C-alpha cells in the first residue's frame, strides 16, 4: 500500500488501477508550494543568522556567538525536515508490479489525509493463494501439504501449490464458518492476475470412499447425540 505521508493536496497523478509500474515509477505528486515557501523562509533566516554570526565573531562577542550558533543549528534541523517532506511529496512505486487500486486522476486538487491509502500494488511474481476452508475440515490441513487450484478464468490449467500457513482467522458466510489458509504457488503464469477466484483442493491422505461420503452424516449424528445425551 502507498499511503499519503501527510495532509496535503494532489498535484498530479500519472498511473491508475490496472497499469503496470516499474520500481521507482512516480505514481503521483502532492502540492509542494507551501513547503517550497517554508524552505525559502528558512534559507533566508539561515543567511541572516550567518551574517550576524560573522559580525559577532569579529567583535569577539562569545554570548551572541553561542546564541546564533544554536539558532543556526535550529535552521539546519528545520531545513532538513522540510527537505524530507519535499522528497515525500513524490510518491513512487516501491517495487515493480501491478496497480490493483487507486485512481487519482479525478481528484486533482483534492485533499488527502495522513495515512490515507492512495494506491495498492501487487508483484507480478510470487502470487499467494488464499483458501477458505470449512471449519469442519480445518483439522485435516497442515503446513507443507500440497494441492491444486483451478481458476474460473483458466479452467483448463490447474496450478499446484504448497500450504504455507493456517491462520486462526475465521469468517462467517451463509451460515458457515471458514478459516483462512495461505499457500504458495509452485509455478505461475504471466496471465495470472490478483483477485482471481476458483476452487482449490488439498491432498490430505487416502481414505475409503464410503467414509468420505458419510462423514458429514456421522459428524452430525455425533454432535446431535452429544447435545442431547444426559
How many H helices and E strands in the chain?
4, 13
Is residue 43 within 8 A of residue 69, CB to CB? The reply is no
Residues 101, 116: one domain?
yes
Most confident region among 26-30, 121-125, 223-227 by mean pLDDT: 26-30
Q: What's the confidence (pLDDT) of residue 189?
A: 64
CA distances to 150, 189, 191, 214 from 123, in Å: 21, 13, 13, 43
**Mean pLDDT of the 44-55 span:** 89
Q: What's the confidence (pLDDT) of residue 122?
A: 81
Encode pLDDT of 54-103 as tens digits. Answer: 888 888 888 888 888 888 899 999 999 999 988 888 999 888 888 888 88
Residues 192, 113: one domain?
no
Domain endpoint, select from 67, 88, 122? 122
Q: What's the confidence (pLDDT) of residue 190?
A: 66
The DSSP H or E segment spanning 215 is: helix 215-228
Q: What's the confidence (pLDDT) of residue 41?
A: 92
| CATH code, domain with 55 | 2.40.50.100
Residues 108, 132: one domain?
no
Residues 8, 96: one domain?
yes
Residues 44, 95: one domain?
yes
Residues 9, 118: one domain?
yes
Whether the predicted pLDDT of 188 surpasses 70: no
What is the tally of structural domains in the chain? 2
Complete DSSP assignment for 167-178:
EEEEEEETTEEE
Encode pLDDT of 7-46 as tens digits. Answer: 888 888 888 887 888 888 888 899 888 889 999 999 999 8
Is residue 44 within 8 A of residue 144, CB to CB? The reply is no
Residue ranges making up the domain that contains 222 = 128-228
Average per-residue pLDDT for the chain: 86
Residues 55, 69: one domain?
yes
Cell of 136: 469442519
Amino acid at each position: 500500500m502507498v499511503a499519503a505521508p501527510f495532509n496535503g493536496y494532489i498535484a498530479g497523478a500519472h498511473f491508475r488501477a490496472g497499469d503496470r509500474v516499474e520500481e521507482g515509477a512516480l505514481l503521483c505528486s502532492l502540492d509542494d508550494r507551501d513547503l517550497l515557501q517554508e524552505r525559502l523562509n528558512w534559507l533566508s533566516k539561515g543567511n541572516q543568522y550567518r551574517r550576524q554570526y560573522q559580525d559577532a565573531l569579529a567583535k569577539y562577542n562569545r554570548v551572541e556567538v553561542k546564541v546564533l550558533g544554536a539558532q543556526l543549528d535550529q535552521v539546519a534541523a528545520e531545513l532538513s525536515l522540510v527537505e524530507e517532506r519535499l522528497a515525500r511529496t513524490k510518491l513512487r512505486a516501491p517495487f515493480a508490479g501491478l496497480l490493483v487500486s487507486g485512481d487519482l486522476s479525478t481528484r486533482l486538487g483534492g485533499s488527502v489525509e495522513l495515512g490515507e491509502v492512495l494506491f495498492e500494488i501487487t508483484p507480478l511474481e510470487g502470487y499467494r493463494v488464499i483458501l477458505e476452508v470449512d471449519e469442519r475440515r480445518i483439522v485435516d490441513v497442515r503446513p507443507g501439504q500440497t494441492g491444486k487450484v483451478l481458476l474460473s478464468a483458466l479452467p483448463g490449467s490447474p496450478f499446484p501449490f504448497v500450504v504455507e500457513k493456517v491462520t486462526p482467522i475465521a469468517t462467517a458466510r451463509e451460515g458457515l464458518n471458514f478459516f483462512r489458509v495461505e499457500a504458495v504457488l509452485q509455478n505461475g503464469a504471466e496471465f495470472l492476475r490478483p483477485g482471481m477466484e476458483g476452487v482449490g483442493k488439498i491432498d490430505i491422505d487416502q481414505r475409503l470412499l464410503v467414509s468420505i461420503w458419510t462423514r458429514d452424516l456421522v459428524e452430525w449424528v455425533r454432535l446431535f447425540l452429544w447435545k442431547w445425551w444426559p
